Every structure is written in C-alpha cells, then in structure tokens.
Amino acid sequence: MARDRCGGSCPGPLHAVGSREPRGLTPVARAAGEAAQRARGPPPPESSGWRRAVVPRDPYDSAVTTAPSQSERTASRMPAPFYRWRPHPWHGIDVGPEPPSRVHAFVEMTPFDMVKYEVDKATGYMKCDRPQRSSSLPPTLYGFIPRTYCGDRVGALASVPGRGDGDPLDICVLSERPITRAEVILTTRVVGAIRMVDRGEVDDKIVAVLENDPVWQAARELRDLPPALVERLRHYLTYYKLMPGETGRIEVNEALEREQAEAIVRASVEDYAEAFGS
C-alpha cells in the first residue's frame, strides 16, 4: 500500500498496489489531465485566496493550482480578532467599552463560593487559592478589570501613598439576578470604590453595577446604593482573611464616589501600559 498525501495507507491512481514506487502516467491519462487543465483555464490570481503549490503528484512534478485548505477557508471567515487559543483573562481581554466609566469585569468568585478562586497569572486558568477558613461569603460578584495593574500611579492615589499590590485592579459587581458561576465576562458601570490596604500594599476595590441590570441600572454613584449593602461589603473586606486569634492586617478606609473611582481605574490602565505595554 502506498503512503498518500492524506497521511494514510491507501491505494492511489499513481501508485502500484503492493509497491512504494510511483509508476508513470500512461499517455492517455496524461493527455486527459492536460485537457482538463486547459478546460479550467488559467489559475486565478493569488489575491483571490488560491495559491500556487508544487505537489509531487507524478514523476514529472509540475506546478498545479490547489484550492485553499479547510483551515484557510475557515480562517477567512473568522471575525477579527480571532484567537486560535484561549486569551489570557488578564492580558487578552479589553479593559471595557468606555473606560474608566464602563469596564469589563472577569469574575473569579460569586456570592456562593466557599473556596477562594483566582486566576493563575502564569496560565490564565482558574485555580483554587485556598478554602475559606472563615464563614464569610462575598456579598457581590468579585473579580478584576482586565489590562489593569496596581502600580505606582494607583499607590500614589491612596490616602497614605504607598505601592500598589502588583495585581490587576479588583472589582465588586452588583447584580439583581444571581450569577452562580465564575470565569465569565461582565460589562459593568463604575459607581464608586473602597480604599483598602493589605499588608502595607494598596489594594483598592472598585464597586460597579452590571450594565442594564433592571434593579441597579439607575445607580450612578456609590451613594445611590443601599448603605447596608456598602457596609456589608466593607465588613467582608475587613474580615474575610481574619481568623480568631489573629491580628488585623487589612485596613478598609473611606468609600469613594464615582469620579474618584474612575481616577483609580485610569491610573491602573496607565500602570498596566507601563508594566506590560499598551
């Protein structure tokens, strides 16, 4: 059996059964092939997506016109940009449609998660950071804004200027309908922020609402949210890492309205551009 171009062992018109050596075309077969080529006419220009290729089809090895492969035809229909491989959630997703006011949020945790999940920075896949040792559950969806970075600019905006924590900017998103799974992308509208310092590093949390949410869409500022909900979020951020007998290592400071929150988002985008390129 002969090894053909499809990679399998199958008999072909140019190979003798039981032999690996090609046999020559008969004059009749060669004349028929040339007549078919003349009937097709000249090959289309390369700009049409067809290509000239040299394919060893017979002992004479002549240049033949071949149609685009299936993958080439599929690629020509792909929207731009199209990723053959999964893009990294931090680096491969846009900041949002209109930053710093309308931004994307990549969800890492939901209010139903009793395990701390986060994106692995090296691979972009979700990993289990740790089981929650306390009974605290996040009161909102929790994740980060893609293509942001908490560096010097974010740190300089803090009440007591310091250094950013070197992570993407965290975001807490309110949704009236329960979203029960992580690793989804949300389009959100920024309404405020909560100042936070974790072990000496600035770790501010943006507060946003799900865009077009039937309950929260009217909120434009943090003060438009129920005070009890904001206090619940502050309480969670204060104690979710704290266990009995441990001393506090997190400082949850003032709540900020939209304009100050957008300044933090803008600074984090600039920090990202400096650290990773725009």
Is residue 90 within 8 A of residue 80, CB to CB? The reply is no
pLDDT 10s per residue in the chain (278 long)? Answer: 444 444 444 444 444 344 444 455 566 666 666 766 666 566 555 444 444 444 444 444 444 456 666 666 555 565 666 667 889 999 999 999 999 999 999 999 999 988 888 999 999 999 988 777 777 889 999 999 999 999 999 999 998 899 999 999 999 999 999 999 999 999 999 999 999 999 899 999 999 999 999 999 999 999 999 999 999 999 999 888 777 677 778 899 999 999 999 999 999 999 999 999 87
Q: Is 191 left (phi over 0), alpha (psi -120 to 50) or beta?
A: alpha
